[in-house]
Amino acid sequence: IVAQASKVLPVPEENCWMDPGPLGTLGVGMPFALAAQISKPDKRVLIIYGDGAFGLNGFEYDTAVRFNLPIVGIVGVDAAWGQMARPQAAVYGANRLVATKLNYTRYDKIVEAMGGHGEYCERPDEIGPALERAFASGKPALVNVVMRQDIDTGMKGSTYA
């Protein structure tokens, strides 16, 4: 998700895009976002990640709430460990994937339960208004964007090949 976002999102100034590289799938984005918000309290921080990465460090929203850090996140929920599914599909075929499925979880509700702001989107036209509300809330916020699993991200095979 981060790699695709980097191709379409404008970067307004230098030194304001932090790409976690291959470690992004391990959930390092939220700790990066916390550090960015603490170091630049006058700026707004946006984190973009997939549902697998959110599952690893998403509970750091509790830290953001406790310290009143108004980070806004977008989690793309395709109910899959895409980083694992793509190389498996390339080698064994799409019908032989092992341990790559997740649920379509309402991560926005988890953030709300911790005291943050949550938004839920099922259609592309809902994302812009949801982001506006998330930023306007002044709270740590998460926009949960449901994605189809069959979308071709253009990232074929293993990133390690």
Residue 157: predicted pLDDT: 40
Per-residue pLDDT of the chain (161 residues; tens, 9 = 90+): 666 777 777 777 777 777 777 666 677 889 999 999 999 999 999 999 888 888 889 999 999 999 999 999 999 887 676 777 777 778 888 787 777 777 788 999 999 999 999 999 999 999 999 999 999 999 999 999 998 766 454 544 433 33
Q: What is the pTM of this model?
A: 0.83
CATH superfamily name and code, 27-103: Thiamin diphosphate (ThDP)-binding fold, Pyr/PP domains (3.40.50.970)
> Looking at residue 106, what DSSP letter applies?
-
Residue 123 burial (10 A CB sphere; 0-12, 13-18, 19+): exposed
> Can you give the pLDDT at residue 79?
67
CA nearest to 52, candidates 10, 18, 86, 6: 86
Torsion, Cα of 83, 63, 11, 135 (10° steps): 120
Pairwise CA distance, residues 55 & 98, whole Å = 18
